[in-house]
Amino acid sequence: TDVGVSSAKITKEITILLLGETGVGKSTFINAFTNYLFYPNFQDAERGELYTTIPAKFTMFDSNFTEREVVVGKPSDNEVVGQGVSSTQGCHAYEYIVPISEKENLLLRIIDTPGIGDTRGSQKDAENFQNILSHLGLYKKIDGICMLLKPNESRLTLAFRYCVKELLKHLHKSAKDNIVFCFTNCRNTFYRPGDSFKTLQGLLKDLYNTTGIEIPLTKSTIFCFDNEAFRFLAAIKNGVVFEPEEKKDFCISWNNASKESQR
């Protein structure tokens, strides 16, 4: 996807692996993150083009409580647009050309993966994990691993714990230095990790006790976003009308997310 493409040369590549449980909002996060990169504030995003790499469909209510269906992106065989099933069917890399100066561009590659805790059962989870490992073999280098979580999870599923441990077994030990944790829907937790912090802390402590691998959990490895800001913009682009005070709330959410994406 040639987002923000210019005549400048690509001088740097960054490849990021995105992991998370089913339903955490990985596909929405990718769509949102792209827009946060190019629009530092909500006003710019509202005036500009909505970048939607991955198709999505959801329902919202306008200011008159009228139900409205919001559809973004083009149909894709890799995405099931609906409810009650795991959306992303297989690993897929999305590439973005991001200007870093007048003469230089960055090629940002985000690898989307099927959700951990697949609705089709543990056998499908195991199959998905093997597919992830096979897909990673296509790249010479993985620059970062992004674990996506909701901010108020009191427990992480066994499938998620298994995936983290198995992934670190198969990657070079230095991979632990490039792991970050991104929390979605953080508007309700004041753009902080919430209850999930202690849950994640427990998982990492267990990981250290069993493998000796220590992964830091600090401000430098934690990023807090709010996917709802992107959904709000998508709804506006689809003609849904909101009250001015509602817009003000999501403007703050967007601006916070944009700052996090640049951090």
Q: What is the pLDDT of residue 111?
A: 93
* Distance of alpha carbon 253 from alpha carbon 73, whole angstroms: 22
Q: How far is residue 98's CA from residue 133's CA, in Å, rounded to a whole number? A: 27
260/36 Cα distance (integer angstroms): 9
Contacts for 174 with CB less than 8 Å, ≥ 6 apart: none
Q: What is the pLDDT of residue 78?
A: 52
3-class SS at 251?
helix
Provide, for the chain, the percentages of residues in helix, strand and coil under a 3-state DSSP scheme, each rounded to the nearest 5: 40, 20, 40
- The amino acid occupying position 35 is N
**Among the listed residues 221, 190, 183, the one whose alpha carbon sits nearest the alpha carbon of residue 204:** 221
Question: What does the block give as tokens for 241?
Answer: 């009308």
Q: What angle do CA 222, 227, 229 make, to 5 degrees?
A: 120
For residue 96, CA distances in Å to 37, 67, 198, 261 come to: 10, 34, 34, 14
User: pLDDT by residue for the chain (263 residues), tens digit each?
Assistant: 445 555 678 889 999 999 988 878 888 899 999 899 889 899 999 999 998 888 888 888 888 888 988 888 776 655 555 543 345 667 889 998 888 887 888 899 999 988 777 667 777 777 878 888 888 889 988 999 999 988 887 777 676 777 777 777 777 778 888 999 999 888 888 888 888 888 889 888 988 888 888 888 999 999 999 888 899 999 999 999 888 888 888 899 999 989 888 87
Q: What is the pLDDT of residue 77?
A: 57
Sign of the Cα torsion 117, 123, 124, 127 reads: positive
pLDDT at residue 83 in the model:
45
pTM for this model (two decimals)? 0.85
Report CA 159 to chain centroid distance, whole Å.
19
